[in-house]
Amino acid sequence: MSTLARPLDLDAIQAFVLIADLGSFTRAAEVMDTSQAAMSLKLKRLEARLGYRLLERTPRAVSLSPRGDAFIGAARQLLLAHERALAGTADAPERRLKLGISDHVAGPNLPALLGRLAAYDPLLVIEVRIAASRDVLAWFERGEVDAAIGRREGDRRDGQLLAEERLGWFAAPGWQHREGQPLKLATLAAPCGIRAIATDALDAAGIPWTEVFVGGGVTAVGAAVSAGLAVAALAQRVAPAGAVEVGEQLGLPPLPASKVVLHTRLSDPRSQETLRAVSSAFLNAAY
C-alpha cells in the first residue's frame, strides 16, 4: 500500500489546523492538552506522510507554506466530516456557546478571535454579548452565559488569567492640552472600572479633569479620541488606529495593568477543550 493510500491521522490534522490558526505550537498544545514537543512530532509525521512542508517556522512566527495553504481547506473539511460522523448524521445539530465579553476586552480583534474559534470547531455556533465587565460577570453569575471574558474587578481573584494589558492615555496625533484647563476626557458611563481607575489616578495626582464625551462603548470612545475631542484611558489593543500615547508628554500618572480573565463553569471535556481554544484564540488575537 502506498503512503498516501493509508488514512491520515486525524489528531495530526487537528494539530496542523490549530497551529496554523493560532500561529503558535505552544498555544495549540494548550488547546489539545499536550506538549509542544508532541505537537511538533504530530506535524512532522503528517508532513512526512504528505511528502511536503505544511508550515514555515521562524523564531518569531509560524505561517502556512504554499502547499500548506493549499491543503488547509481540505483539512478543515476532513475535521468537519469527522465531527458530523461523531454526531451520527451529516445534518448534525450545531452546538451553541453563549459568550459574554467585556467591551474593554473585545476590541477590533474580536472577529479574528471568533474566526479562529469557528475554524477550530465548525459545528459550534457562538452567541456573543458585549457589555461592561461588571455586566458580563453578572450575566455569568446568573447563568445567562456559559463563559465570560472580562477585566478582573475589585478584589476578586477568581477566573483564569488570560493576559495582563498595560493601560495608557491615548489621544489623536497633534492633540494639545491647554495649560491651566482641566484635562478633557472621553470615557464610558459610570460605573466603568477603567473610568474609575483613570479618574482615581488623576485625582491622586492632583490633576483636574472634565468629561467632554461619554460613550456607550469603546468604539464610540475611540471615535471621540480620533476626532480630537479628548484623551482616553485604554489598552493599546483597543485604542483607535492612529492614536498615540500621550501620558508621558502630558505628565499624566501611570495606570495599572488590566487583568483579563476567563470565567466558566463548563466541565465536560469537549467544552473544556473549546474554552481552551477560546483562551488561545484570544491571546493570539491580542498579541
Q: Is the dihedral of CA 130, 134, 140, 146 positive or negative?
A: positive
Phi, psi values for residue 39, rounded to 5°: -65, -40
pLDDT at 144: 94
| Same domain? 109 vs 251 | no
Bridge-based pairing state of the strands 183-188 and 209-215: parallel
Q: Supply the CATH number for residue 83's domain.
A: 1.10.10.10
Mean pLDDT, range 240-246, rounded to an integer: 92
Are 243 and 102 part of one and the same domain?
Answer: no
Q: Name the more confident of 60 and 57.
A: 57
Average model confidence (pLDDT) for the chain?
A: 84
Residues 152 and 186 in one domain: no
Domain boundaries, position 120 = 95-164+259-286
Residue 13 has a pLDDT of: 92
Same domain membership, residue 156 and residue 28: no
Whether residues 182 and 226 fall in one domain: yes
Cell of 103: 467591551
Q: Is the pLDDT of residue 55 over 60?
A: yes
104 shares its domain with 76: no
Question: What is residue 1's predicted lDDT score, i.e. its pLDDT?
Answer: 44
Q: How many domains does the chain have?
A: 3
Q: Which residue has the cell 466541565?
A: 267
Give the C-alpha separation, 86 to 92, whole Å: 9
Give the pLDDT confidence of 115-174 residue by residue, as tens digits.
766 666 667 788 889 888 888 999 999 999 998 988 887 667 778 888 888 899 999 998
Query: What is the average pLDDT across 237-263?
Result: 91
CATH number at residue 127: 3.40.190.10
